[in-house]
Structures are given as structure tokens and as C-alpha cells.
Amino acid sequence: MKFNEAAVFKWVVILGLAGALIVAVTLLTRPLVGALLLLAVAIAGCVYGYRWSKRRWRDLGADK
């Protein structure tokens, strides 16, 4: 599998920013707020990953 370095860098930056946001919110507020934000980010990531995988499988099936 070939990876696009620019796309990987973009996702590393996005994950770093999301992690920093969660830590900052947790430190500025109660830990429950940070945990809820982490849950929201995790759910959004799972939904995006599911949609990406369905699109990828559909595109691979169309290449046959």
C-alpha cells in the first residue's frame, strides 16, 4: 500500500491538534467535560472511518 506523505502529515497535525484541544479543555474545566469532548471526537472519527472504508470498498469493487 502506498501512502501519500502530505496526507499522512495532515492527519498527524489534525490528531495532534485534537489531542491538544482535549487536554486544554480538560485542564481549563472539569475532567468530565474533557471526557465528553474525547467521546465526541472518537465518535466523529469512527463515523468518518466507517464512511471512508465503505467508499474504499465500493471503489475497489468497481475496479474489477
What residue has cell string 501512502?
3
pLDDT score of 64 more than 70: no
- Residue 25 neighbours by CB under 8 Å, 6+ apart: 33, 34, 37
Q: How is the chain split into domains, by residue range? A: 5-62
% the chain with pLDDT above 90? 59
pLDDT at residue 7 greater than cutoff 60? yes
Q: Higher-confidence residue: 46 or 3?
A: 46
Confidence check: pLDDT of 63 > 70? no
Predicted TM-score (pTM) of the model is 0.73
| % of the chain beyond a pLDDT of 70 | 94
